[in-house]
Amino acid sequence: MEYNSSAVSGNTSTIRILNPRPEHHSIPLTEASQPSSPRSSPLPSPPGSPSESISSLPSVGSSFFFSSAAASPPHSKPHSDHARESTQGLIIPSLTLPEALPRPTPYGKTLGDVRLLVIGDGAEDHTLVSSLLLDDNEDVVDIGTWDETSDGFVLRASTDWIEQRDAHGLEKFEPSRNFEIVTSHRVQSNASSVLAMIQSPFHSLLEIVDRRCQPSVALANLIASPWTPLYTALIILSASGPSTVEDNLIDTLAPHIPVVVLRYGPDRTQFPSRPHMSSFRPSSAIALRNGLFCSPETLSSLRYEAAERFLRWREVERAVENLGASHRETMHCISEKVHRWDKAKWEAEWELRFSQDVATRAGEGDVTERPDRGIRLPVPCVDPLHISSLVSFSLSFLDPIKALLRKRTSEFLEKLSDGEVRVALLGSFCIGLGLGLMIR
C-alpha cells in the first residue's frame, strides 16, 4: 500500500515537472483537455475520455501559419534518475502542425479579380501559359489545376488568402482564386466562339445595370472596379509575325475587349499594332507579368478599357432594341389600320357617298347650264394625201417591172444569138405569114 502511494505521488510530481503551470491556473486531475488547433482556444474533451490522461499545450497564434518552419513541441529533460524510471510508462502526445503558408505581397493583397482570355498558337500549351504568368511569381501564393470546360480550359490562381471560420469557431485560410486564365479551343478558325465568350459576362452585367442609366464617369468607375465580371484583357500568344488570320481576329475582337499581342518565338520583332488595340503593349513576358501584377496603373487602364468597350456594346444593343421596338409599334399600327379589301363593302360605301354628293350638289342651286348648240352630224373628212399615196404606190412597181423586162430581153437576145434559134424563128415567121395570107 505504501509502494502504490509513493508511485502515484512520483507520477504526479513528474507530470508537474514536465508541464509547469502557475498555481492559480492549475487544472484538477479529473479534467481532461485536448490539443488546441491553430488560432483557436482549447475545446472541452469529449465524454468518455480517460480521466488519467493529462495534456497541456500552449495555443498557437495565427502568425504561425505564415512562418518559415514549423516548431516542435518542447520536451523537458528529467531532473533525476528516479523521475526517468517513474515516467517510462507515460505517453507524451505530439502535435503535427500544418505547413507554413506563403505570405502575400502588398501587390497581391490589392490586386483584385483578374480574368485573362488567352488564345493563339501558344494557348494550347498550358505549361507555357503557366510559366509566362504564374511560375516563380512571388505575388502568387497558390496555383490550382487546369479544369476543362465546354469552351476550353481554365486555371485559377491566388494572390491572397481568405480567412474563414468553421462551425466550431476555428480559423482557417482558403485561397482567394482571384486570378483566372481561360483558353479557348480552335480560335484561329472560329472567332465567333471567342466573341461569344467575351460577351457572356456582358449579358450578365447588362441585367444588373439599370437600363435608364446613361453612360457616365460614375458608371464607368463602377464597371471598372477590381471585382467586375468582365474579362480584363485578351492575350494573343503568337510564335510568328502578323498574318492575315491574326489581323482579322484582332479587327473582330478589339472593339469588345483590350487586345494584347505577345510574341514568344525566336523572332520577337516589334510590328505596328492594329487599330483599337490596348494601350498596354508589352515587349516580353516579364513586361507582361510586371504590368499585370506590379503595376496598378496598367491594370487599372486595362479595366477602364474593358469598361469602355462594354458601355459601347451596351449603347449599340440599346439602339438596336429601340429601333426594333419602334418598328414593331409601327407595324402594329399599320396592321390595325389596314383591313382586308371587301368589294361589296366598298361598292356600298361608294354608292352612299355618291348619292350624298349628288344630293348636296343639287341643293346648292348654282349649277352652271351650258348652251344647247344642237346636234351636228360629223362631216366626213377627205384625206388629201390619199390619191398621192395611191399614185406613189403604183409608181413603186415600175422599178421591178423594168428590171424584169431587162432580164427577159437579155435572155431573149442571148437565145437569139444562136444560129439554130434564128433559123427556127425565121421559119416560124414565114409559116405564120403564109397562113395569114391563105386565110385572107
Secondary structure (DSSP) of 379-431:
PPPPPTHHHHHHHHHHHTTHHHHHHHHHHHHHHHHHHHTSHHHHHHHHHHHHH
Measured CA to CA in angstroms, residue 37 lies from 40, 164, 167, 254 at distances of 6, 14, 14, 52
Residue 401, pLDDT score? 86
* Per-residue pLDDT tens digits for 60-89: 444 445 544 444 444 445 455 665 666 666
Residue 33, pLDDT score? 39
Between 158-162, 291-295, 373-377, 427-431, the lowest mean confidence (pLDDT) is in 373-377
CA 192 to chain centre: 7
Residue 173, pLDDT score? 87
Residue 139, pLDDT score? 94
CA–CA distance, 38 with 153 (Å, rounded to integer)? 36
Measured CA to CA in angstroms, residue 237 lies from 246, 251, 342, 368 at distances of 11, 16, 69, 93
Measured CA to CA in angstroms, residue 380 lies from 134, 375, 383 at distances of 111, 16, 10
pTM of the model: 0.55
Does 423 have pLDDT greater than 90?
no
- DSSP-assigned letter for residue 138: T
Pairing of strands 142-143, 147-148: unpaired
| Sign, Cα dihedral of 134, 258, 154, 242 | negative
Average pLDDT rounded to a whole number, residues 321-330: 71
Average pLDDT, the chain: 75
Pairing of strands 152-158, 179-184: antiparallel
In this prediction, what percent of the chain has a pLDDT beyond 70? 65
Residue 260, pLDDT score? 93
Confidence of residue 439 (pLDDT cuts 50, 70, 90): confident
**What are residue 114's DSSP bridge partners?**
179
CA–CA distance, 50 with 31 (Å, rounded to integer)? 9
Confidence of residue 130 (pLDDT cuts 50, 70, 90): very high
Residue 326, pLDDT score? 66
Cell of 283: 515587349
Higher pLDDT, 398 or 381: 398
Q: Which of 24, 97, 106, 19 is nearest to 61 (CA)?
A: 97
- DSSP-assigned letter for residue 321: H
Would you give the end-to-end CA distance of the chain in angstroms?
A: 208
Q: Is the separation of the CB atoms in 93 and 158 below 8 Å? A: no
Confidence of residue 349 (pLDDT cuts 50, 70, 90): confident
CA–CA distance, 192 with 246 (Å, rounded to integer)? 14
Q: Which of 111, 132, 81 is nearest to 237 (CA)?
A: 132
CA–CA distance, 320 with 423 (Å, rounded to integer)? 108
CA–CA distance, 234 with 118 (Å, rounded to integer)? 6
Most confident of 304-313, 392-401, 425-434: 304-313
Residue 338, pLDDT score? 54
Higher pLDDT, 371 or 113: 113
Confidence of residue 311 (pLDDT cuts 50, 70, 90): very high
Measured CA to CA in angstroms, residue 24 lies from 27, 28, 120 at distances of 9, 11, 71
Residue 335, pLDDT score? 59
The alpha carbons of the chain give a radius of gyration, in whole angstroms, of 56
Q: Is the separation of the CB atoms in 274 and 255 below 8 Å? A: no
Helices in 19-150 by DSSP H: which ranges? Answer: 81-86, 106-109, 126-133
Average pLDDT rounded to a whole number, residues 234-247: 87
Between 87-101, 138-152, 374-388, 396-410, the lowest mean confidence (pLDDT) is in 374-388
Residue 375, pLDDT score? 52
Residue 329, pLDDT score? 65
Average pLDDT rounded to a whole number, residues 107-113: 92
In degrees, to the nearest 5, what angle opens at C-alpha 312 toward C-alphas 310 and 318? 100
Q: Is the separation of the CB atoms in 101 and 161 below 8 Å? A: yes
Higher pLDDT, 15 or 123: 123
Does 124 have pLDDT greater than 70?
yes
Please report where in the chains the cell 501559359 appears, as a residue.
129
Does 264 have pLDDT greater than 80?
yes
Residue 211, pLDDT score? 83
Between 64-68, 254-258, 322-326, 416-420, the lowest mean confidence (pLDDT) is in 64-68
Confidence of residue 296 (pLDDT cuts 50, 70, 90): very high
Residue 339, pLDDT score? 55
Cell of 346: 366598298
Residue 305, pLDDT score? 95
Average pLDDT rounded to a whole number, residues 409-425: 74
